[in-house]
């Protein structure tokens, strides 16, 4: 005579099978690569930064009278440069073209270090604040980078590129608007608030900040975690890696996991009772 417990055990295993399959597929999804997507907002002098043609032209007129190093002059005279692709485009057009140039680009620490920089530009200091951790797991999807860049000249028109990476490999996530440096003024810091939408699993990341001359498109200064400890070991993750546990519960409920389990258990119990009564 077979034990009445065997059918019950088999049905219980069948009831649990859909849940295990759902959890496995979800785990594979979280490990799969997804495209990098980031939203950023710029601030300066305590307000949202939105340069106009008029305000920037005034800065251009001032900086055009400033003598530059021979390295920049050589770059301007070179026919094969990024500057040639920008021409006399508007601010919006230049920013869009720069974003296109840097989109999807990445570089290693060695590549950044191998670039010849200009001593007349430098990033004096930088700060990072971690802003939003939706699922309270210690990894933030929103953060703020603030940096104070200086120049040996009275003024200089520049723009920045912010990278995010790990294991000494950085990927560009934001190209800033053009802004003016005023000598060694400590009040002209530039602020970028970023929200990671996708492409960044939970990990410790480093930030790389690059500064470019807005005329020649030449890299003139940079700062990273080796220069400034504030830019390293940042616990970050993108939005699509938040709410992991909540998403799992929702997936199970949509597939009727709980109802299936109780229904099968009830059927199994009924079969066992009938078998016991017959014998």
* 134-146 confidence digits (pLDDT tens): 999 999 999 999 9
pLDDT value of position 234? 98
Buried (b) or exposed (e) across 91-104, using 16+ Cβ within 10 A?
beebbebbeebbee
**What is the structure's pLDDT at 142?**
98
Domain 35-241 falls in which CATH fold?
A: Immunoglobulin-like (2.60.40)
* Range 187-215 average pLDDT: 96
pLDDT higher at 61 or 37: 37
**Of 71 and 59, the one with more pLDDT:** 59
The pLDDT value recorded for residue 248 is 53
More confident residue, 186 or 60: 186
The single residue listed with the structure tokens 């703020």 is 144
pLDDT, position 64 = 58
- Tell me: pLDDT of 260 over 70: no
**Which pTM value belongs to this model?**
0.69
Q: How many CB atoms lie within 10 A of CB 109?
A: 17
Report the C-alpha gap between 180 and 112 in whole angstroms.
23
Helix-, strand-, coil-residue percentages of the chain, each rounded to 5: 40, 30, 30
- Helices 244-254 and 257-278 cross at an angle (nearest 10°) of 50
Between 57 and 103, residue with greater pLDDT: 103
Report the range of poorest mean pLDDT among 36-50, 102-116, 133-147, 220-234. 102-116
User: Measured between alpha carbons, how far is residue 189 from residues 132, 160, 209 in Å?
Assistant: 22, 12, 13
How high is the pLDDT of residue 144? Answer: 98
Given a cut of 80, whether residue 11 has pLDDT beyond it is no
- Evaluate the CA torsion angle 103, 107, 34, 209 in order and state its sign: negative
Q: How far is CA 77 from the centre of its chain?
A: 35
Residue 125 pLDDT more than 70? yes
pLDDT, position 74: 46
At 170 the pLDDT is 93
């Amino acid at each position: 005579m077979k034990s009445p417990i065997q059918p019950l055990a088999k049905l219980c295993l069948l009831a649990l099978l859909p849940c295990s399959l759902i959890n496995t597929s979800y785990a594979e999804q979280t490990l799969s690569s997804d495209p990098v997507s980031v939203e950023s907002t710029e601030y300066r002098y305590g307000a949202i930064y939105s340069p106009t043609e008029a305000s920037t032209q005034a800065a251009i007129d001032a900086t055009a009278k400033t003598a530059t190093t021979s390295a920049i002059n050589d770059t301007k005279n070179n026919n094969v440069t990024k500057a040639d692709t920008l021409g006399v485009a508007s601010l919006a057009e230049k920013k869009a073209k720069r974003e296109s140039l840097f989109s999807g680009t990445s570089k290693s620490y060695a590549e950044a270090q191998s670039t010849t920089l200009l001593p007349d530009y430098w990033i004096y200091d930088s700060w990072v604040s971690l802003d939003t951790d939706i699922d309270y797991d210690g990894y933030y999807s929103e953060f703020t980078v603030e940096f104070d860049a200086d120049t040996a000249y009275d003024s200089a028109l520049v723009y920045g590129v912010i990278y995010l990476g790990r294991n000494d490999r950085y990927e560009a996530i934001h190209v800033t608007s053009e802004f003016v440096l005023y000598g060694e003024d400590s009040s002209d810091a530039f602020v970028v608030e970023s929200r990671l939408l996708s492409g960044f699993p939970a990990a410790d990341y480093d930030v790389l900040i690059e500064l470019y001359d807005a005329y020649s498109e030449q890299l003139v200064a940079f700062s990273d975690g080796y220069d400034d400890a504030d830019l390293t070991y940042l616990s970050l993750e993108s939005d699509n890696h938040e709410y992991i546990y909540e998403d799992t519960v929702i997936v199970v409920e949509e597939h009727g996991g709980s109802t299936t389990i109780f229904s099968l258990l009830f059927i199994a119990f009924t079969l066992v009772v009938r078998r016991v009564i017959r014998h």
